[in-house]
Structure 1
Amino acid sequence: MRKLEVSLPEQSYSILIGSGLLAKLPNLLEMQGVQKQDRLFLITDDQVAIHYLEPVRRSLSESGFSIDFAIVPHGEQSKCVATYESLIGKLIEAGCNRKSVILALGGGVIGDLAGFVAATYMRGIRFFQLPTTLLAHDSSVGGKVAINHILGKNIMGAFYQPKGVIYDVDTLQTLSTRELQSGFAEVIKHGLIWDHSFVDWLFQNKEELLSRNSLYLTEAIERACAVKVAVVSQDETEQGIRAILNYGHTIGHAIEGTTSYSAYTHGEAISIGMVGSAWMSEKIHSSSQGLTKMTEELLTHFGLPVKLRTPLSEDKLMDYLRRDKKHTSTGFIFILSPIYGQVRINEHVPEGLIRQALHRIGAC
């Protein structure tokens, strides 16, 4: 088992990564301060539940914990007000109080949704992230929790840290190929923004990673999480450096929103967004020449798209970008790369350049 520590002024917690951790969940929770009398409420989706709900529920029950659960439909559409309100009702009906603990068993959607429920139920109760996707290595760390509005992604949210992250890499064996590939987008992002040696390692070990070798996946997750921990520990609420974690996300979120979260997975949208960001980086920073080609090559190796499958309206994408949280009254903010393996915050990026980048990725 690998262990990383997230050190924050108000609250610190551990990220545990390894094989067979769900089977050890009762002991791991007790080691992190959860007591048998603390009612547990597990939130998962209908796909994850097929594989893991009953084993986890049975293990916790047989160890003396009281546990209730709720299953929501899989997919981004569950990050909505209606699902959120329904879950709050289920917590009330289950008798959950301020000492209760929410377990978020699933991918990024479940982590965001369950985390937002935890942040707001009785003004905040404890929760643990139990990621079951590769993509969730990113969203489960750092305390960003949220639900969507029809006009924007993650518009209703909070910074609310989990009490711990318990990441059983065995769960990645049940992912579809598309889900696994999607997860590599965020892994690659962490290398591109922080550590070029990690990017080189991904190039060299893509075969082992795509074949789901547990040792290689554990190392990839640990190294990617280590980047996020380093950033979040410096800037918990995104007042400065944490914004670099949004590399590729501004365009990516616009792609997701414009297609109603139905045509692309989150990782696929972020993959295309990173190509757009790499292209803009080359236009603004002469030191980043060749970045777009390298980025496209790496993403393609991991089965990720580098262009829109079908053209989207450039104007509709721009409308979405104007509603993005990172857009200010003085212009567009993008995370761009002056050199391979590093990024910086660029304010006042010209709309004309953004439109060119959108055209480069296939917008019309």
Structure 2
Amino acid sequence: MEKIIIKLHKRSYPVVISDKLFNHFSSLWSLHAGDKVVLITNDRVAPIYLNILCNLLTHAGIVTDQLILPDGEQNKTLITLNKIFTKLLTQNYDRSTILIALGGGVIGDITGFAAATYQRGIRFIQVPTTLLAQVDASIGGKTGVNHVLGKNMIGAFHQPNAVIINLDVLSTLTVKEFSSGLAEIIKYAVALDSDFFNWLESNLENLLILNISSLMYCIRRCCELKASIVSIDEYDQGIRSSLNLGHTYGHAIESYLNYKKWSHGEAVAAGIMIATNTALRLKQLNYSAAERIKQLLIRAGLPIHGPKEMTPNNYLRYMTRDKKSISGQLNLVLPVSIGCVKTISNVNHKLVSLSIEDTYS
């Protein structure tokens, strides 16, 4: 078992990683006998893990309730959020209630946002069941929902009380779901750690066959990297923007597709490649580094260009609404070497269009 502490200004919380965590509670989960929890999950995860976790919680003396939401990024909306509020209000849950997010990034984001806003803030615990959520979405306190005009434009910063990562759950993922998580892992390596990028180049196949020791190292390293950033910049006012590599382009893809067809990781992978091409055009990155990024994405089974039906103008329409854009000016996180990124302000729209077209050549 590995344990990483996310150290914040006002408090800290543990990220615990193991392959047998559903049998441990106490301090690892920040739960105690008599606590009231509401497990929030989706209709894909519920048949696999909900009864197991409910039984274990009940056996530990924890009063347990549940809510099953529809699966999919397209359901990360205010309408779905209101289902959580209705559940909590109907059952008269108070500020002592603890929410548990059992699922991927969508469940984690929407449960966290519910926890941030119900009675002005209650506790919650992340139990991520996808690789993407384990390495990224469950850590750092970003919560929220999507709008038809933009991804994650409605939300709050609200840190969990604990993050419980169980490696066993990864065996239930499809190849597409697992590859989606690899996109965020590659993002960490490109943005923050050249040694980790080298390790990925040598060990990607071990991850694909779910080698436990490789998964443990990889997930731990991603959590360490995120912890180091969040502890410095909890509210995304500075260095935390480095974690947005590929996301401005990727969010445009997701918004254009109405959060259907493409997973978040697939959109981010295409976004990383477009950001790489943008850096090439700006002479911020050399061709050799760009080619290594491209080949690692391909080996991970990820797309290196966006949907063919999506034009550069389609991207720009959503990118100018992005949280990092100001008055229509594009501020993009771009790689300048393997392991290092920087934010380039007011990137020319025409250059962005050409960089998008480059991915198809």
Name the TM-score, length of structure 1 as normaliser: 0.96
CA shift for structure 1 position 72: 0.6
Larger mean CA deviation between 326-335 and 68-77 belongs to: 326-335
CA shift for structure 1 position 262: 1.2
1:124 & 1:293 partners in 2: Cα distance? 46
Larger mean CA deviation between 329-338 and 137-146 belongs to: 329-338
* Cα contact 1:14–1:165 (8 A) shared by 2: yes
2:197 is aligned to 199
CA shift for structure 1 position 252: 0.3
Larger mean CA deviation between 304-313 and 342-351 belongs to: 304-313
Q: Which amino acid aligns with 2:84?
A: L
Given candidates 236, 239, 242, the residue that maps to 1:241 is 239
Q: CA-to-partner distance for each residue in 1:84-132, whole Å, 9 max, x for gaps?
A: 0111010122331111100000100000000000000010000011011
1:4 partnered with 2:1: no
Q: Percent identity?
A: 39
* Cα contact 1:282–1:290 (8 A) shared by 2: no
1:22 is aligned to 22
1:329 is aligned to 327
1:150 & 1:294 partners in 2: Cα distance? 35
* Cα contact 1:38–1:100 (8 A) shared by 2: yes
2:267 & 2:279 partners in 1: Cα distance? 18
2:340 & 2:71 partners in 1: Cα distance? 35
Q: Which amino acid aligns with 1:89?
A: T
* Cα contact 2:32–2:61 (8 A) shared by 1: no
2:182 & 2:291 partners in 1: Cα distance? 18
2:176 & 2:17 partners in 1: Cα distance? 22
Q: Which amino acid aligns with 1:19?
A: D
Name the TM-score, length of structure 2 as normaliser: 0.97
CA shift for structure 1 position 154: 0.6
1:28 & 1:6 partners in 2: Cα distance? 14
1:25 & 1:217 partners in 2: Cα distance? 23
Q: CA-to-partner distance for each residue in 1:16-63, whole Å, 9 max, x for gaps?
A: 01111122245632xx3x332221011001111111000000111111
Given candidates 45, 48, 60, the residue that maps to 2:42 is 45
Count of paired positions: 360
* Cα contact 1:251–1:321 (8 A) shared by 2: yes
- Aligned-partner SS, 2:169: helix
2:303 is aligned to 305
* Cα contact 2:183–2:302 (8 A) shared by 1: yes
* Cα contact 2:110–2:145 (8 A) shared by 1: yes
Segments of structure 1 that go 5 or more residues without pairing to the other structure are none
2:27 & 2:334 partners in 1: Cα distance? 43
Q: Which amino acid aligns with 1:51?
A: I
Given candidates 55, 60, 64, the residue that maps to 1:58 is 55
2:145 is aligned to 147
1:361 & 1:27 partners in 2: Cα distance? 48
* Cα contact 1:129–1:140 (8 A) shared by 2: yes
1:23 & 1:305 partners in 2: Cα distance? 38
* Cα contact 2:281–2:355 (8 A) shared by 1: no
1:130 is aligned to 127
Given candidates 59, 65, 69, the residue that maps to 1:72 is 69
Given candidates 219, 223, 226, the residue that maps to 1:225 is 223
Q: Which amino acid aligns with 2:20?
A: G
CA shift for structure 1 position 285: 3.3
1:133 & 1:55 partners in 2: Cα distance? 17
* Cα contact 1:288–1:340 (8 A) shared by 2: no
What is the RMSD computed on CA atoms of the aligned residues? Answer: 1.4
CA shift for structure 1 position 160: 0.7
1:188 & 1:287 partners in 2: Cα distance? 17
2:333 & 2:148 partners in 1: Cα distance? 25
* Cα contact 1:278–1:291 (8 A) shared by 2: no
- Aligned-partner SS, 1:24: coil
Q: CA-to-partner distance for each residue in 1:182-206, whole Å, 9 max, x for gaps?
A: 1000011001111111011111111
1:265 partnered with 2:279: no
- Aligned-partner SS, 2:136: helix
1:134 & 1:17 partners in 2: Cα distance? 12
Residues 139 and 286 (structure 1 numbering): CA distance in 2 closer, same or farther, change over 3 Å?
Answer: closer
Q: Which amino acid aligns with 2:111?
A: A
Residues 78 and 287 (structure 1 numbering): CA distance in 2 closer, same or farther, change over 3 Å?
Answer: closer
1:157 is aligned to 155
CA shift for structure 1 position 287: 4.7
1:26 & 1:244 partners in 2: Cα distance? 35
- Aligned-partner SS, 1:127: strand
Given candidates 292, 295, 298, the residue that maps to 2:293 is 295
Segments of structure 2 that go 5 or more residues without pairing to the other structure are none
